[in-house]
Chain A
Amino acid sequence: MYNYGNEQQTKTTSVFNGFHQMAGGGDPKWQKDATDQNFDYMFKLLIIGNSSVGKTSFLFRYADDSFTSAFVSTVGIDFKVKTVFRHDKRVKLQIWDTAGQERYRTITTAYYRGAMGFILMYDITNEESFNSVQDWITQIKTYSWDNAQVILVGNKCDMEDERVISFERGKQLADQLGVEFFETSAKENINVKNVFERLVDIICDKMSESLDSDPAMVGGAPKGQRLTDQPQGTPNTNCNC
């Protein structure tokens, strides 16, 4: 269970064969990956939730398999990129990590558009962060496209002594919202990878569903999902000399 970021052990999950570990933050290697066009799909994911529920730790655990008790509180928005394999397709995940402070709402909600999946996180030791889940859902509904998939995550489940939100309450809320639910611990590396894998899976399902429903209308869709594609037809504001 623990330390399954290790290459050999990832083989246990059939879907994610050949899982690639990305090097840490400053390493030029992953930087190269940020502009790498060699992938079949690109999913833009967002991690949202109140301040200090552990969004950044969660992302670092997933992307770098590292944990520090204190990450610098995210200013505005940041991201990490990770490429995974699903059904022999390279899926590039562009995961945006957001600041939870109220003051950053306008900046972060602007990034909701085009996000295909959300990880909505609360802290099981913090009642307020749980109470805000409904607000965050409203934000998603307001600012994202309708087909965005959401997973509710109760983080810090290693801190059993300080728990104030029971698993049942989380599960109940998730059912009510019609989303999937996980309790996780970035510190103990519990369910972190599962959350991402599940999210990628439901996005893929949703995508093939819409491809099935009207193939003519989506012709050539996958590549069109790339955020990095140069906007075509949208006039360039700066040059026309």
Chain B
Amino acid sequence: MANEEVFDDDFYQEDFSTASEFEAFISRLGDIFETYEVVDEEALSSNELSLCEWTEETEDIMFNDFNLSVIRYKAKIKPRETESSKAINQVFQDLTSQENDYSLLDMNYLKHDYEVLNAPKSPNIHPVAVFYGLRDFVVLKSKRKPLMDISQMKLLQSSLSLAINESKCKIPAFIQVLYHEQDVFLGIYDAGEQRLSFDIAHLKTAPPSCKYLSGLLDMFKGKIGVNYINPVMVSVCLTYSLKNFLSATYSSDKKNENDDWDVVDFINVISSLPFGVSADPVNELILYTKWPQVSENVVFDSQTYSDFNPINAQKWSIRTRFDYSPVCYLADMLHEYLTLTESPEALSEYYNFLSSKARISEAQNPFSALTDSRIPGFSGMSLLDGSYTIDGPLNEHQLGKMFQYLLPDEDDEKKFAYGDLKDEPFNPQKIKSAIPDSLVHRLSILLANIYTSYSGRRGVAQFWAEFSQKMRERVDKCMRIPGVANGFPDMRSCLLHQKLQMLNICMERRNIREGKLPFAMQLLAQQHEGPSSLGKTDSDDEFFDCDDDRVVDEEEHAHQSPWNPVGRISKLGKMLLIDSDEPLYIPVTQDPVPKTEDELEDDAEMLLNVTDSGLRAQLMSASLLSDMESFKAANPIGKLEDFIRWYSPRDWIEEDTDERDPFGRKGHLSDRMMIPGNTWQTVWQTAKPVPARRQKRLFDDTKEAEKVLHFLESQTLGSIGQLTVAPLFHTSLIKIQKESENVKDFIPNYKEMEDKLKQNCCTLSREKWNTSKGMSKKKWEMVINDTSEMELSINQARSILKKLYPDKTDFNDDDKKLLNSLMKCYDTELGEGAKNDIGVRVMYMFNLARATQNEQRVEDHSWTLPDPIEKQFTLRLSGNTVNQGMGGPQFLRAILSSNEFRLCGAFSQNTTFTYST
């Protein structure tokens, strides 16, 4: 039994059917071909092969010492909605159809490998499909070294032929020979009686006989050797190239890198973001003049005479070619600005007065800030005297201009006054930055300009130092910072904006504390009285700054008249105090404490580190104590119950009896308020009747302001960059949106690009800056790719407009369709050929370019085109032969350009040798 099995194995190992390597190869190839499913599909529509998707199936196979790939290319043809008759032979049908004669895609241009960002990907349509208009074929291609040896080619060709015969392969099969980039293919297709052989000749220069249609026709007919009844149908395309656009050349405004900044309009340059490209992104305009289908006997084309005058061509179409290499100014700036985020230098390395010991101890010890801040001679004050200097590359004039823009209220002209800073309505894609054109946005624009095109790190250090001193100055003078949103620090805005909001709040609180008008009312007053001395430090104020004395004073006051109510706002409805007929008064309370997000995080962190929940409650009870003291001051005989009735009405259970007290006095505290020793009760017990204004401040504006100023002064250059990256990208997005207004309608995928940019900015702006491995920087760099893509597209679109629609500003749907197609670099047809408006314009540009080259004037009547850069003739024959019955299709395409000549032939032969009569 066992022996028998061994015998069996031996028997099968000795495979007599595939004796040689050659036979094994054919068999394997045949096996692969047999797996191909072929479905008959509808006729191709115009340009379908360029537009549809392609699938590739790859198998590997060995042939001698060649590693070959067998790749099947198949177009994904969408099923037609209306049923139409299917072809008898799909390959024949495709070959004779002229619908896909000229690729919509720019094959000459796209097949190169571009390393440049934004360049389009190589199209996936295969050259065989372009040359022959086929939708389904298989290509054998050597994986590494090209197939150069003639005998090997022949051997491979005959094996292919055998494999096709054996496997009844229903699709054309090609072998790629010579260098891959030459795109030379030899192919076979077997359709029973007819056999097609595909052959490509690729030369540097065309033989003289092949340069014109007459010679090509002779060659074509000679090659076929059979006479067809129908004449040869010819399709002709002459291609012209325009590269010199003269006045239609598109250029962006200069970046002014080398200009003297004082000569140009300095403030306009420094206050705006650059936008544009370093070179015309449209570097070539291609004109195709086509005769899609003419009969050989109505046209003549030879060296001496030609019927193919482009002006009379049946079809005109144009195509743009883009240069993807120009530098995009905005993207370039963003890219450069990101390098700032990695600078480790502290501001104090440039300006060491910012790190003076006095300043730091003051920031760390709030009491010293409280007591010392008004003493002249202190470093902060000395700065105000002008005795400090912040040297740097920016001169006084330049700084002055920049601060006119940043802090327009200090400027008499108020040329750059901030508009109404209204926050946008709820927007889930909100970028965590600041309101457009607010101070933080302007600041980031200035910094980016200073850093990237003017004076680098030193300039940033100087400007920031100057800015932080301006802030200090304003805090000292109690001058509201303009261009910052009102109210509490907005956590949806960036940290820098929150810090500035905080400064304003501090000043506002100080104003009120010192009995001055709040900012909003000051503004009104100012409008009535004209410019006044507002904002100047009033020396009288200094007496009111000492808190400790006041607490003592208040205690004495309270002792003197414990029943004197103070700090009432109004009565709380009709409510009366329990066990009395006194009304219940709402007290004046301390305002809530504003916090910036970093402070809140610290608070949360601290809470999270406190073990005992009772202790946490105690930590949280500062404001409760303050409110209770205010309440007691306003309602000297009030009880906890009364406080609760105002503060937490749900914890007062009114008795539900028939006689309800109209003044809300009958009832009791909720169970939870009666828990012995609960926070509410204990705090109530410790609360003294002290009106809000005499209480210890919950929010120490002096200290908080100093904290913010210290925050500004203690930045490193890198952190300055980090603080302003999100606002800068936000302003860039706004810039792009503004610049795209006229062209976005026809930029392909504009909406998608914009949404992606917005979404990415939004996501990243909310992330904390992560310096490890440059993580955040890398993420933002990816956003720059989106930015530069949009910037380039917008400039491409503008360049096209400048060339084709020099005077037009509004575009109808046809224009938009045309522009959109040109933006995709498609072969774009112009209706009515040369008579089309765009056609006339293109013609004019060609003639202008020629006239300029020859130093002539443009003559209206002598419009001609230069020599074509490429000529393409496609010759087709099919139908009945004169004496051999139905003939297979015959096909020859000649492509002539200045440095390349290509013949693509597909000739059919009758294999049965049967002659019909």
Contacts and interface: CB of A to CB of B under 8 A. Distances in A.
Contacts, number: 158
B716 A26 contact: no
B623 A76 contact: yes
A111 B604 contact: yes
Interface string B709-728: 01100111011001000000
Given A237-B707, A237-B710, A34 B604 contact: no
Interface string B421-439: 0000010111000000000
Given A31-B611, A232-B772, A234-B495, A227 B604 contact: yes
Interface of A: 25-26, 28, 31, 34-35, 50-52, 69-79, 94, 100-101, 103, 106-107, 110-113, 126, 141-143, 145-146, 214, 216-220, 224, 227-229, 231-235, 237-238, 240-241
Interface stretch (B232-240, B672-680, B834-842): B672-680
B616 interface: yes
Contact of A78 (B346, B613, B776): B613
B621 interface: yes
Given A101-B648, A107-B592, A233-B719, A72 B714 contact: no
B360 A50 contact: no
Contact of B672 (A73, A78, A220): A73
Query: Top 10 A-B pairs ranked by shortest CB distance?
Result: A76-B620, A233-B769, A146-B428, A106-B592, A70-B672, A70-B671, A240-B714, A72-B678, A113-B491, A52-B650
B909 interface: no
A214 B672 contact: no
B272 interface: no
A211 to B, nearest CB: 11
Given A106-B592, A146-B428, A233-B776, 5 more contacts: A106-B488, A126-B650, A143-B492, A145-B766, A240-B714
Contact of A52 (B670, B678, B767, B769): B670
A217 B763 contact: yes
A235 B607 contact: no
A219 B770 CA distance: 12
A28 B47 CA distance: 74
Interface stretch (B593-601, B795-803, B872-880): B593-601
Main secondary structure of the interface of A (DSSP, over half): loop
B719 A238 contact: no
Contacts of A25: 612-613
Nearest to A213: B759
Contact of B617 (A69, A75, A231): A75
Interface in B672-715: 672-675, 678-680, 707, 710-711, 714-715
Contact of A241 (B360, B492, B715, B767): B360
A72 B648 contact: no
A141 B711 CA distance: 30
A235 B672 contact: no
A24 B722 CA distance: 42
A26 B613 contact: yes
Contacts of A217: 760, 763-764, 779, 782
16 contacts: A34-B608, A72-B680, A73-B679, A76-B617, A76-B624, A78-B616, A78-B617, A101-B648, A103-B627, A107-B623, A142-B426, A217-B763, A217-B779, A227-B605, A231-B768, A234-B598
B155 interface: no
B781 to A, nearest CB: 11
A70 B670 CA distance: 9
Contacts of B346: 240
A104 B863 CA distance: 81
Contact of B607 (A35, A71, A75, A79): A79
